[in-house]
Amino acid sequence: MRKREKSTMRSNSKLQRPACTEDRISGLPDEILCHILSFLPTVQAVRTTILSHRWNHVWASVPNIDLCDDIEEFDQERFAGFVDHVLSSRGNSSIHRFRLHTKYMAEFPWLDDWICTAITHNVVELDVDLARDSFSSKPFELPRSLYMCKTLVVLKLKLPSIITFAPHSDCFPSLKFLHVNVACPDAADSMGKLFTCCPVLEDLTIEAEPDGGSVLNVNISAPHLKRLRMNVLLCIIGEYYDYKTFINANTPNLEKFSFDGNVLAVFSSKDAKSLKIAKNNFEGLHAVSDAAELLHRHFAGIGNVEYLGVSAPIFGDPRIVYRYRLPMLNNLKRLVLLFQSCCSWQSLINFLNASPNLESLTFNKHAKCLKQHDKDELVHEWTPPESVPICLLSHLKTVRMQRFRQRSDEMKVAEYLLKHSEVLDYMIFCTRATYLREEKKLWDEVQKFPRVSQTCEIIFPKVCTENF
């Protein structure tokens, strides 16, 4: 009985213990509170003023300003007033990142003042995205003070019109990262001025959504540029179109180039000896006039790479695959090929013949093609080349066949590679076998293939990663 009373008293004492009401977060130093609020949109950071008097002015010292009008009931005047209030409340505190994204603003009479205010507060990162779904024929001119900003390191621009510049040699003295959106071919001409006046630029991303014309010319001159990414998406109907993108680069220190889009790109450079990595993803591209010549020019422009990724039906289109010849890719060591199901195996032979020092090969021939094909267009027999590619005789050490489905043509390709790769160390089959007995059957069949390399190990990994 006494034990029950004692346990009851203990439980009552716990219930009667006063709850802790101490506000530990408000007791943190301003620097830590500002760091916490810097991860929130500015409108939410401002709302913390309702917590207590302690929070009244903390938000005004947050180094990042993140403004977005993504609300259903948008009032342009009210939004502009809020931005003015945020910027006027900064005092002497610096702005590290100023991000302004709008979807509903129709006019931008305040933008110059907002950017200039950010500049006076030593802005480091500026990200401006205005009405990306609309386009205006009226040119948009950035404030001249932006060109001379000594603290700006990162600049992202997505504007609804052609951007006009008045640059000179001393522009953007600290800018290292630039991300721009090109709304139309004419905009590329004005953007070209920007790409030639950034003396320390290291990272450039260009997005384009052209809606007319047939050619997009992009001229880049940046002596310290290391990474170049382009994304060109053309709104098209049908499989055949003649849109081309020409990238003319004077970038002697470029190390990595990547292109993603549904148009053919041709990269050319005066000096691309530093280029080590190139990724080309031409989604859905089947036929372009003068394709053979343009493909040769493109690969000649990136011919010094050590890593090459290629994904596009045009590289294996049976109608042109025998008409183009790749330039020699003498430095290439790692090749990743993503073939659509319509592609001919001849494209694999073309790349092997052009890569005498290739050490690693990864390929997948089951990517979904956006074009509707007849069944006979999706069946491609393996025809061995007249002579064994040099890389198989001396350098190729690893082969990875992704999404291996055990079709007769795939089995013949695997057999050929095992039979002729003299220094092969690993032959990796990433299958879709759902049962152990299916994988065991495949294992038994592959083991029967003759292997010229005595050190070759056949592997069926349990987990397959697909990297491009």
> What's the token pair of residue 453?
């390399």
For residue 463, the tally of other CB atoms under 10 A from its CB is: 5
> 50 Cβ partners below 8 Å, 6+ apart?
none
Q: Which residues pair with 140 in a beta bridge?
A: 163
Question: Using CA atoms, how far apart are residues 211 and 234, in angstroms rounded to an integer?
Answer: 7
The pLDDT of residue 9 is 47
Radius of gyration of the chain (CA): 29
The pTM is what? Answer: 0.85
The pLDDT of residue 16 is 53
The pLDDT of residue 145 is 87
Phi first, then psi: give them for residue 42, nearest 5 degrees.
-60, -35
> What's the token pair of residue 392?
């198989």
The pLDDT of residue 353 is 95
Question: Using CA atoms, how far apart are residues 279 and 387, in angstroms rounded to an integer?
Answer: 28
Please answer whether residues 115 and 105 qualify as being in contact, where contact means their C-beta atoms are separated by less than 8 angstroms. Answer: no
> 273 Cβ partners below 8 Å, 6+ apart?
252, 304
pLDDT along the chain (468 residues), means of 10: 49 51 74 88 87 82 88 76 90 92 76 92 93 58 86 89 64 93 63 81 89 76 94 66 81 94 84 91 73 85 94 70 82 90 82 96 73 54 91 96 84 94 94 67 86 92 68
Question: Using CA atoms, how far apart are residues 381 and 318, in angstroms rounded to an integer?
Answer: 12
β-pairing verdict for 203-208 and 177-182: parallel
